[in-house]
Amino acid sequence: MKYSKEQTQALLQKIENSLRDYLLKHKITEPIIIGVHTGGAWVADWLQSTLGFEGKAASLNISFYRDDFSKVGVNPRVEPTAMPVSIDEKHIILVDDVLFTGRTTRAAINEIFDFGRPLSVTLVVLVERNGKELPISADIVGQKLELENNKNVKLLGPSPMILEIIDKDN
Amino acid sequence: MNVSENNEIDLDGKNISHNNIVSQKHLRHFLDIEYLPKSLILDILDLAESFAGVSGQPVKKVPLLRGKTIVNLFFEASTRTRTTFELAAKRLSADFLNINVDFSATKKGETLLDTLRNLEAMHCDMFIVRHPFSGAAEFISKNVSQNISIINAGDGRHAHPTQAMLDIFTIRKYFSDFKKIKVAIVGDILHSRVARSLMHALRILEVPDIRVIGPKTLLPNGIEYMGVTPYVDMDEGIKNCNVVIMLRLQNERMDSSFIPDEHEYYNLYGFTPRRQELLAKNGIVMHPGPVNRGIEISSEVADGERSVILQQVSNGIAVRMAILSLSMQP
């Protein structure tokens, strides 16, 4: 099942509004937005420009921090990590398209700490689905989904961004 | 040294004899470039590109090979190769041992196998091997247990595949399209394992004009069959080249009959500022090190604007990280 462009856009706007409120409430004026490759980086770039911050969002390729290297190896064709600014003493907004088991977020947080010591890390996701395997939850969520085990949700993009629910074999 | 019993692998419908590869995508050992498919060479270069960023992080380390044990098994002296392999392994979070085997004590095959058995008993996962005999890394790969990967860090005159990989990685930083460049390799082609691996790599990447330049005594007979053009005249050979790779004169591998004397060699084949002017405008100068200043290259060129010699060293770490992790993956 595919979401429409408008349905996906509505979720993006929802997380944008929640993030604005969150930043105001926590008095964060200069956050560093970091997206997880590939879908998370698209959402992060979108948030970066919609919230009026200059340039592209930072992005993480968590391939080298995954916990399943000895099972699946490493994919050579992933964009390198781009962390153009220092994250020391900064508030980090970590963005991913889908939160599922929590393993990607765990890897992303590990990688972030190899670049410095941030003041805080806030997790923003477009979709949070059932199937959590680690004690990790998102602070800002576009939509929570209950899916059967054989289903996956993924983001197509970068322009336009469209969510899709597919069978795992695909 | 007996290196028979090759594994037969069908690649692109063509039978080849080598145990470099388990499939089109994965490395099992990294022994030679000759039989690698182009796609795998490009995968290594792309992955190295991602690893290059790790050296710029405040914490220069990724946890990819945590819990793995890698052994540098060097039967021959080396500084650059040994240390860049060590740094590559450490930046991948592997545990690392440096073993310099006294070659004189291992002249008998049994002793080498005993050394291997002992290291196997320590549950090591990978041996990085440098040895003065051609075929040594392959011999070792056939005599260790199945779960151990072997990386060839230079064997006799045969191959130095990780050096060739870092050289083409460095070339790609300046020239994105291998199909449009002229590359010259200058010097002691006969004794050079770097030259041999480079010629294979450049051929696989479809470089249209590969030249080898040196005195007749240092150019192997029939080298044209490797898809390269030999030149005895250096000025003619390097003319309009985009990349010139200078080789070290390997005094330890030759007696005095190969070249008249070092001074004469420098006059005929030394890379001087005058010769540098013969390159294409965007031409770069490379050298695998260690550099013999005043013998094969002048200091002005080695330290000059077109020299990428130190970049080769830095790139060596990222490229070796890529090769170690691709050889270690399931």
pLDDT at B197 over 60: yes
Give the A-side interface with B, CB within 8 Å.
61, 63-65, 69-74, 76-81, 83, 110-111, 113-116
Other Cβ atoms closer than 10 A to B288: 25
Please check whether residue B329 touches A, CB under 8 A: yes
Distance CA B246, CA B70 (A): 31
Residue range(s) occupied by CATH 3.40.50.1370 in chain B: 8-160+316-328, 161-313
Query: Which CATH number does the domain A5-64+83-167 belong to among 3.10.580.10, 1.10.4100.10, 3.40.50.2020, 1.10.4030.10?
Result: 3.40.50.2020
Distance CA A65, CA B59 (A): 13
pLDDT at B110: 61
B252 confidence band (pLDDT: 50, 70, 90)? low
H or E element that contains B274 = helix B273-276
pLDDT at A12 over 60: yes
Say which CATH class B8-160+316-328 falls into. Answer: alpha beta
pLDDT at B301 over 70: yes
B105 confidence band (pLDDT: 50, 70, 90)? low
Amino acid A81 reads: T
B273: Cα separation from own chain's centroid: 27
Average pLDDT over residues A37-63: 95
H-type alpha helices, A26-164: 39-50, 69-72, 103-113
Contact B329 A74 (CB under 8 A): yes
Report CA dihedral (B43, B44, B50, B53) to the nearest 10 degrees: -160
pLDDT at B300: 96
B25: three-class secondary structure by DSSP = coil
For B67, name the nearest residue in chain A, comparing CA atoms only.
A70
H or E element that contains B202 = helix B193-204
- In terms of CATH, what superfamily is B161-313? Aspartate/ornithine carbamoyltransferase (3.40.50.1370)
Average pLDDT over residues B40-65: 92
Compute the mean pLDDT over every residue in chain B, rounded to the nearest whole number. Answer: 88
Contact B325 A74 (CB under 8 A): yes
B57 confidence band (pLDDT: 50, 70, 90)? confident
pLDDT at B19: 56
Which residues contact residue B246 at a Cβ distance below 8 angstroms, ignoring those fewer than 6 apart? B186, B187, B271, B285, B286, B287, B296, B297
Rounded CA Rg of chain A: 15
pLDDT at A170: 59
pLDDT at B12: 35
pLDDT at B5 over 60: no
For B61, name the nearest residue in chain A, comparing CA atoms only.
A114
Average pLDDT over residues B200-206: 97
Please check whether residue B53 touches A, CB under 8 A: yes
pLDDT at B22 over 60: no
Average pLDDT over residues A124-153: 96
